[in-house]
Amino acid sequence: MAEGLRERKKRETRQRISDIATGLFLEHGFVTVTIADVAEAADVSVNTVYNYFPAKEDLFFDRSAGVVDQLSRWVRARTEGESAARAVLRELRAEVEAVSPRLGLMEGYDRFMRCIHEAPPLRSRLWSMQQEIHDHLETTLREEAGAGADDPLPRLIAGQIAWIHQTVFVGIGREMVAGRNPGKVSREVLVLLDDIEELLGEKVLNYAVRGAP
């Protein structure tokens, strides 16, 4: 019980620091705000902030781990007879139809995107995350398809699927920065997903189809 309480307090402290930091970044800009500013606003020491977040970019992208492995989780959860790419397309459509904030379909997302565009360290971290998404997905596809280490297909298919994901995120981000209504953007992105699927070749759409158990 005592250990559970400590862990809960740690999670609460981490979340509070992250929330306060995000508010400061959005209000004053990522480059302007220092770790000392975050620590003061959160009423903790600078060392405490670093204990939870090794780098300032980690404060901004505090949920990056869930983003990096999301495509892999969707692929691993695909249904019988479903390929990796079709599983990702299905999941993305569901998120878009739900006007999900996880995709940026929310009021105020434009502030988040502008903060990234104005801060080179955040743009660099975002690029690194995209590489991590691709590499993580390649590993998953290699395992799911039973492909050998010298087989180039998992890397190529991962690139195509990661492109789908990135195209949707970039498209939504661009429209939200322009002040568009999330519901309207959602409907347009559903059409975009149909166009994307038409562009994909059969080899991509039929790769790593899950067989019957």
d(CA 167, CA 151): 26
Confidence of residue 67 (pLDDT cuts 50, 70, 90): confident
Token pair, residue 126, equals: 């975002």
Distance of CA 195 to the CA centre of its chain: 22
d(CA 61, CA 30): 12
pTM score, whole prediction: 0.87
Q: Residue 179: which H helix or E strand, with range? A: none
For residue 146, pLDDT beyond 60: yes
CB–CB of 92/196 below 8 Å? no
Least confident span in 62-66, 69-73, 141-145: 62-66
For residue 65, pLDDT beyond 90: no
d(CA 52, CA 62): 10
